[in-house]
Structures are given as C-alpha cells and as structure tokens.
C-alpha cells in the first residue's frame, strides 16, 4: 500500500471518529435550544458519512469513478463548510488545525490519481 493511501485511510477514519465524538457530545450540551442540539448532532452525522465516503473512495475509487468524483465534491463542500463554521463560531487555532487537517488533508489526497 502506498504511503498516500495509508494516510488517506487514517484521515478518513479520523473524520469518522471526530463525527462520532461530535454526536456523543450532543448529550453533554447544556446551552442552546433543542433544535440547536439536533443540528449539532446532524453535523456529526454529516462528518461520519463524509469519512465513510472517503473510505469507500479509498477502497473502490479506482474501479468506480463515480464514487471518486462524488467524494471529491463532498470533500470540497465539507472543507468550505468547515472553514465557514470555524469562522462563524470563533473556533480556536487548535480546533481549526484538527478539523482542517483532517478534512483538508482528505480533500487533497482524494485528488490523487486512483490506482
């Protein structure tokens, strides 16, 4: 396995783990409205699905070009969303680094030619 493929899978699993943590922490939220907590949980679902799509691309992308293109589109959209969410919520530099490191890294690696 190429190093890039290995790193891509690690980043993809990291996105799944971050989304799972996001969903689990919803129960600990005390402020905000119930609707806000639902949206927070939904963002975790989106992260888990995004990471799962990257894992599918890693496994089947070479034989399924449609999966690869959908994954690239998803990654671009999620990267833009992560930047906007970080700006609007005043994310700390550490939060920005973790989220953009995972999502941005997966985005860059999803552009590599499929083997």
In terms of residue numbers, what domain contains 57? 3-110
Long-range interactions of 39-48: CB distance < 8 A, separation 24+? 43/19, 43/85, 44/19, 44/20, 45/19, 46/19, 46/78, 47/15, 47/16, 47/18, 47/19, 47/22, 47/78, 48/15, 48/16, 48/19, 48/20, 48/23
47-60 tens-digit pLDDT: 999 999 999 999 99
Q: Is 115 contained in some domain?
A: no
Residue 2: predicted pLDDT: 86
**At 113, is the pLDDT very low, low, confident or very high (cuts 50, 70, 90)?**
confident
Q: What is the DSSP letter of 51?
A: H
5-62 tens-digit pLDDT: 999 999 999 999 999 999 999 988 888 888 999 999 999 999 999 999 999 999 998 8
pTM above 0.75, yes or no: yes
Q: Domain count for the chain, please give it.
A: 1
Coil, helix or strand at residue 60: helix
Q: Is 92 contained in some domain?
A: yes
């Amino acid at each position: 396995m190429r190093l890039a493929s290995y790193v891509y899978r690690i980043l993809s699993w990291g996105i799944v783990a971050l989304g799972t943590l996001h969903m689990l922490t919803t129960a600990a939220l005390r402020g905000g409205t119930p609707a806000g907590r639902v949206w927070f949980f939904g963002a975790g679902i989106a992260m888990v699905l995004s990471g799962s799509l990257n894992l599918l691309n890693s496994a089947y992308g070479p034989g399924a070009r449609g999966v690869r293109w959908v994954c690239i589109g998803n990654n671009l959209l999620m990267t833009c969303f992560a930047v906007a969410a970080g700006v609007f919520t005043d994310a700390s530099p550490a939060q920005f680094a973790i989220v953009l490191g995972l999502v941005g890294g997966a985005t860059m690696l999803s552009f590599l030619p499929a083997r």
